[in-house]
Structure 1
Amino acid sequence: MSVYESEDCGGTRRYNFRRIQTTTIRFQVKAAHDVAICLSPDDEEEPEDMYEIFIGCWGVAEIRHPPTQGQTDVCRVETPDIVSDEEFRSFWIKIQHGVIKVGRSGQKHPFMSYTDPDTLLHVTWYGYSTGWGASGDLIYETCSHMTDSPSPSSPAMSSSDSEAEDINNLEDRRHPIMYKRPARWVPAKGGYFPRHPVSGGEGPDGEVYVGMAHHEGGYILGMVVPDHGVCYIPFGGDAIPKPEYFVLSNPGSVNMTWEPSSKGKVPPGALQGGISEDGEILYIGRVSVDGVVSVGKVHPTHEVCYVPYGGSEHAHRDYEVLCVRNLPCKV
């Protein structure tokens, strides 16, 4: 356990962000009032896409979305004396299947909930703060599935970054797939993009981005086409459009390069990118088809890179692989 001290930030609030890697956030707090939890698609405030959860806000608890001044609360309940500045009180926030539930430790049923499947798909970080005349202490877990967001002076990949989800256990997971920095997968839908998406190059309809989607028990690499609002994945001979997908983000602005390779091989520094329906590790590859780029999956045992193009799956023995230079490469 670690204790985080939050100052009285008034109405501005200064959130300290942590990554969400389980469906439930558990914490203890000691404060007179105005405990705020922020849910965001990135490790900073995103006013249009984030939620704020207030506990002990002068006798009430609230969920706000978007959290702008004057915005009507989407959920508000009376909660007198729910927090205390004399003792720690325990709470949980569960985010699953497009629903936020807020409850007290030891109680199965939430005292507050709200449903929003579209925006909640993008939530991957949470922050905490106090304000309006209240300072406080928060206790949160420091196990391997929760990590602090790096400070501006931190290197792009540091020993404090947690090892992400074991790629071999990805099947049927509905929460975000997180990778050790510099690369991380951010869940998206219908053309949504996180900050710092990784470009695959110029496609037939403009720039395309490195994407991945859950399909047939695997996580299959492909390309996100912004104008189409989908991620195309190569599978079973077809280019399959997936309206719900993941976008590869490079939050540390680390130098990534496309390196030539062939026959199922990958160069040093290659980023592992997904898992096949049979449990094999895949790598991020791209090829040029008719003079434009298409991004897909390097399947080592098949000795090719599969890409989606023109509604079909194409296999190529020569391709380029996305790599990270001068950093530990297995993410």
Structure 2
Amino acid sequence: MGEVVEFVTSNKYGRRFYKFSNSSITFSLKGSGYAVIGLSNLPEVKHIKQWVYINRHGNTGVTQYQSVHSEHEVLIAVETPNIISEDRSQKFWLTWYDKLELGKSGSTEPIFSREIGTNNLKYVSFISHRNTNSVEWRFVSPPLIERPGLKPIEGGKMYWVKYDGLLPYGALIGGYENEFLYIMRAPHEGSLTPGKFVPSIKCGFVSWGGYMHLKNEFEILCGYDCTWVTTRGNVIPCGAVPGGYTEYGPETMYVGRCQRDKHTIPGKVAPSYSVCFFPYNDEEAYEAVYEILVAPYSSPRYTPTKIVPNVRVGEYIGEHV
């Protein structure tokens, strides 16, 4: 359980930011006029992306600008007379995951709802409009949860097994596309390329040259001493699991996976291309932001204080090609 936070915003109250990683908050307020909530990706006023205002004597809605003390664009406004009171606290909920919605406690119907494109809004600031009135606020701050460190485990090291018609013991689930997908690799045009294995048809698929290619002979990745790490471009985490090599150079390719149409598809990461390629809908698709498979303790660069340090490909390739 988090800490109960109570305060009054007025002309003597400094701006404070509180972190809410779950994109929602339940709060109570009592006041004489105009309460404002700012949502931002960093704890600074200049980074506030959305302003939510609650006005006892007028409208409730959303504005967008650098500051509520300047002219700002009203994105949505709803008439809400007497929505807050000077005499007793009113309880509200606010969410901002893919939609920005405000509602009264006890009701699932929002006062307003607006689609938003920014999903990294983690900081919340509370103020009174133009500091002309005081507002009493109350909410429960989220508990501080430390990210657990990765600990070495016995066994489970990564290894490749030649497919013989049966899914090998310890095969690593790598994604989902109407069924669980597994990670495979197969030779193709002089390369050794990671891709996806589809159990229902007992075939593997790799992406190469803009197309998806079916494979009947391939290896499947097994083991469990690993984790998926989100990265982008050519930033390769230490301990990334090698899955093969390109036809040129050769350059080491790593095991990656991408999100597409609510599916998670395993594929290949050739760092010089700065994307993850994956076989999907008979084509070679790609994403610049992706997950890469990492066996953390396999790298001498790993330290417990830095869960998975990142290095750019220029620093990294020379050690692993």
CA distance, structure 2, for counterparts of residue 166 and residue 33 of structure 1: 47
CA displacement at 1:142 relative to structure 2: 3.0
Identity %: 15
Partner secondary structure for residue 73 of structure 1? strand
- Is the contact between residue 36 and residue 126 of structure 2 (CA under 8 Å) also seen in structure 1? yes
Larger radius of gyration between Structure 1 and Structure 2: 2
Question: By how many angstroms is 1:79 displaced?
Answer: 0.6
Per-residue deviation at 1:30? 1.4
The residue correspondences of 1:1-331 to structure 2 (distance < 5 A) are: 2-9=4-11, 14-47=14-47, 50-56=49-55, 58-68=57-67, 69-97=70-98, 99-117=99-117, 120-131=118-129, 132-144=131-143, 162-164=145-147, 219-224=228-233, 235=256, 236-239=267-270, 240=276, 242-243=287-288, 263-272=298-307, 283-286=308-311, 292-293=314-315, 316=320
State the one-letter code of the partner of 1:94.
T
**Aligned equivalents of 2:14 and 2:4: distance in 1?**
19
Distance 1:5 1:285, change over 3 A: closer
Structure 1 unmatched runs, 5+ = 145-160, 173-217, 227-232, 247-260, 273-282, 295-306, 308-313, 318-331
Q: 1:222 to 1:2 in 2, by over 3 A?
A: closer
Question: Structure 1 residue 54: deviation in Å?
Answer: 0.5
- Does the 8 A contact of 1:17 with 1:43 survive in 2? yes
Change in Cα spacing, 1:41 to 1:86, as seen in structure 2 (3 Å) is same
Q: Measured at CA, do residues 39 and 243 of structure 1 come closer, stay the same or move farther in structure 2, by a change above 3 Å? A: farther
Measured in 2, the distance between the counterparts of 1:133 and 1:141 equals 26
Instruction: Supply the distance in 2 between the matched residues of 1:28 and 1:73 (Cα, whole angstroms).
Output: 24
2:7 is paired with a residue whose SS is strand
TM score, norm. by length of structure 1: 0.50
C-alpha displacement of 1:77 = 0.8
Check conservation: 1:287, 1:316, Cα contact below 8 A.
no
Distance 1:166 1:79 in 2: 48
- In the TM superposition, what is the alpha-carbon distance from 1:287 to its structure 2 partner? 6.3
Please give the TM-score of this superposition, normalised by the length of structure 2.
0.51
Q: CA deviation at 1:115?
A: 1.1
Structure 2: gaps (5+ residues): 151-173, 176-226, 236-253, 257-266, 271-275, 277-285
Q: 1:85 to 1:219 in 2, by over 3 A?
A: farther
Aligned-pair CA distance for 1:225: 6.9
Q: Residues of 1 paired with 2:37 and 2:289: CA distance? A: 26
AA matched with 1:237: K
Cα distance, 1:244 vs structure 2: 5.2
Q: CA deviation at 1:7?
A: 3.1
Q: CA deviation at 1:33?
A: 1.7
